[in-house]
Amino acid sequence: DAGITQSPRYKITETGRQVTLMCHQTWSHSYMFWYRQDLGHGLRLIYYSAAADITDKGEVSDGYVVSRSKTENFPLTLESATRSQTSVYFCASRDKRESSYNEQFFGPGTRLTVL
Amino acid sequence: GQQLNQSPQSMFIQEGEDVSMNCTSSSIFNTWLWYKQDPGEGPVLLIALYKAGELTSNGRLTAQFGITRKDSFLNISASIPSDVGIYFCAGRDWGNDMRFGAGTRLTVKP
């Protein structure tokens, strides 16, 4: 499928388990991002990546790990899930050239529930 | 970190009415963006603004980049039922970190 996809779309897990959320984009965009969306907070940046093998922390990175071995994939791992990580997670990507055609495009989201 | 205050939090309007929402920041942004999110989907870009004072339209939507670089507003004219959703403002400084407002939930009554 063209565009940006996330899997799974829904996930229920238990406290302490490791969870990996997948993100895949077909545009060869340089930048990829992970956000979480919680009521009253809008979207908050967890991690971003400017290119393969380059990642940087965002506003709420504690408890999360990312990797980017290939340009098109940007998995997000919760090493030991906690209830406070129950949220909707969005992946986004954009090209490195700044213009209105190259702003961030978002995936459909993954709804994660940690019991 | 930079905080974005978006208001109002929610709006209930009649079809055909105009809508106005705004975002203010405690610090300067280089870029202002407005997104719309439909239920169960990711945000979709509506308008991007790159210059202080810039006024940009996209159909019935008009957005402005405030002259102080610390605010932006979005207007929707002659609202229709499909305008329903959550509207987010977002600001970016000279880095890659983009900050989002908490969103304005719009309900349009036919």
Tens of pLDDT along B42-68?
A: 999 999 999 999 999 999 999 999 999
Q: Would the pLDDT of A82 be above 80?
A: yes
Q: In this model, does residue B1 exceed pLDDT 60? A: no
CA A51 to chain centre: 14
What confidence score (pLDDT) does residue B92 get?
87
Segment A45-70 shows an average pLDDT of 94
**CA-based nearest residue in chain B for residue A91:** B42
- CB–CB of A42 and B40 under 8 A? no
Q: Do A43 and B97 touch (CB under 8 A)?
A: no
Contact criterion met (CB below 8 Å) for B71 and B89? no
Q: Are the beta carbons of B100 and A31 separated by less than 8 Å?
A: no
Instruction: Of A14-18, B23-27, B91-95, give the range with the top mean pLDDT.
Output: A14-18
Tens digits of residue pLDDT in A58-70: 989 999 999 999 9
Predicted local distance difference test score (pLDDT) of residue B98: 82
State yes or no: pLDDT of A98 exceeds 80: no
- Confidence at residue A95, expressed as pLDDT on a 0 to 100 scale: 84
What's residue B39's pLDDT?
A: 87
Per-residue pLDDT, B94: 74
What pLDDT, on the 0 to 100 scale, is given for residue A39?
82
The pLDDT value given to residue A4: 94
Residue A101: predicted pLDDT = 57
Indicate the range of A21-25, A37-41, A45-49, A79-83 predicted with least confidence.
A37-41
Set of chain A residues whose Cβ sits within 8 Å of the Cβ of B90: 43
Residue A10: its pLDDT value, please? 97
Mark yes or no for CB contact A43/B31 under 8 Å: no
Instruction: Name the closest residue on chain A to residue B39, using Cα atoms.
Output: A108
Give the per-residue pLDDT at B3. Answer: 72
Q: Collect all residues of chain A within an 8 Å Cβ-Cβ radius of residue B47.
A: 100
pLDDT digits (tens, 9 = 90+) for B8-29: 999 999 999 999 999 999 989 9
- Per the CB < 8 Å rule, is A108 touching B41? yes
Going through chain B in order, the beta strands assigned E by DSSP cover 4-7, 10-14, 19-25, 31-37, 44-49, 55-58, 61-65, 71-76, 85-92, 98-100, 104-109
Instruction: Mutate one of B55, B98, B104 to test the A interface: name it (highest A CB count within 10 A).
Output: B98
For B31, residues 6+ apart whose C-beta sits below 8 A from its C-beta are A98, B48, B49, B50, B91, B92
Q: Does B96 touch chain A (CB under 8 A)?
A: yes
Name the burial class of residue A16, with classes exposed (0-12), middle (13-18) and buried (19+) by CB atoms within 10 angstroms of its CB: exposed
pLDDT of residue A13: 97
Chain A positions in Cβ-Cβ contact with residue B43 (cut-off 8 Å): 43, 90, 106
Calculate the average pLDDT of chain B.
92
Q: Among partner residues A35, A45, A103, which is closest to B48 by beta-carbon distance?
A: A103
According to the model, what pLDDT value does residue B59 have?
A: 95
